[in-house]
Amino acid sequence: MTNVLVVGYGTIGQRLADGVSLQDDMNLIGVVDAAMSLSIRALKEKGMPYDLYAVNETCRAELAANGIPVRGLLEEALEKTDIVLDATSAGVGAKNKEQYKKYGVKAVFQGGEKNDVADVFFHGYANYEKGLHADFLKLTSCNTTGLIRAVDCLDKKCGIEKVAITIVRRVADPGDYHRGLTNALQVDKAPNHQALDLMTILPEIKATGILVHAPVTHGHFITVVATPKRDISVKEAIDTFKEHNRIRMVRLDEGFQGNASIFKYARDLGRPRGDLYEICIWEDTIVKSGKDIMFGIHIPQESVTIPETIDAIRAAMAMDTDGKTAVEKTNKNLGLGGWK
């Protein structure tokens, strides 16, 4: 069993803890946080299903003052850990890295950290083998993770020469107020970082893109125009996407009108927090323009990176040396593909 510690019990950290606890070959040591929060209050009310460790004594005192049971300090948890999943705020992970090195612990960082924090910029399906035995890996962002799933899927089928993407990006996660109350769209300079990151993972594909921030919270929407190396029909593209266990195909006439419909469906399924690990592609959006294939993707930003993060554990710890075998184990334990 591989001993895993989650550092940062926020939006991503909660979901990572849940995901690791579902794996039959991993042991969750616990979760670490630095301050009292609604997430910690909920953890207590749920009966402390995970041991909680405090970053330092000051944090432990604050948590204790709020009646939160604390198992110990971060240093004590690191002594029992093989690999850390760092889900802290951007920039904090880079500082934490020195402590992980001190204890000889591997670490996986989320997409908000700079690329130089890690040895490998990682995606489970696209470059699993590059992560084997690596000490420090960094995940792609939520949008890039989902985008690569779709583009890599087509690339393996017919080869992809280039892609042009437009991202309609949710402005904040549900419950966040730091962006304020807005009624506007905001455009970023092109190309967006997701296109550049895609080329880092899949260097044989040329990519560019535009990003627009929208005042919504439940998911991003990406349009992709992909130029295949050989002609591929709409039906072939649909059939190829359907084979991928981290892609869910949806249709407008089924009631999937947009991001809110998908979020409601996940809640109706009984998914914790209304989460989906899969990206959704609307069959109705898959069209051709000459040789190019165009389609639209829904990205569930709070949960989409969880499967690839678990893949990263398998790679760094060399639990599986074959990427296909590794992702199939992750998928099975998370229940991905079982709905087909």
- How confident is the model over 253-289, as pLDDT tens digits? 999 999 999 999 999 999 999 999 999 999 999 999 9
Which pLDDT belongs to residue 13? 97
Digit-coded pLDDT (tens) for 157-187:
999 999 999 999 877 767 666 667 677 888 9
Do the bridges between strand 279-282 and strand 292-299 make them parallel or antiparallel, or are there none, so unpaired?
antiparallel
* Strand ranges for 229-286 from DSSP E: 247-250, 279-282
Which pLDDT belongs to residue 303? 96
Please tell me the distance from the alpha carbon of residue 145 to that of residue 307, in angstroms, as a whole number. Answer: 10
User: Does 33 carry a binding-site annotation?
Assistant: yes
Q: What DSSP string runs through 93-115?
A: HHHHHHHHHHTT-EEEE-TTS-G
Please tell me the distance from the alpha carbon of residue 155 to that of residue 340, in angstroms, as a whole number. Answer: 23
Q: Which active-site residues does the annotation give?
A: 142
Which pLDDT belongs to residue 175? 66
Count of beta carbons in the 10 Å neighbourhood of residue 65:
9
Which pLDDT belongs to residue 204? 95
Please tell me the distance from the alpha carbon of residue 13 to that of residue 173, in angstroms, as a whole number. Answer: 14
The vertex-278 CA angle with 96 and 14, nearest 5°, equals 35
Which pLDDT belongs to residue 67? 96
The pTM is what?
0.93
**Ordered structural domains, the chain, with CATH:** 2-140+305-334 (3.40.50.720), 142-299 (3.30.360.10)
Which pLDDT belongs to residue 181? 62
Segments of the chain with pLDDT less than 70: 173, 175-179, 181
Which pLDDT belongs to residue 170? 77
Which pLDDT belongs to residue 281? 98
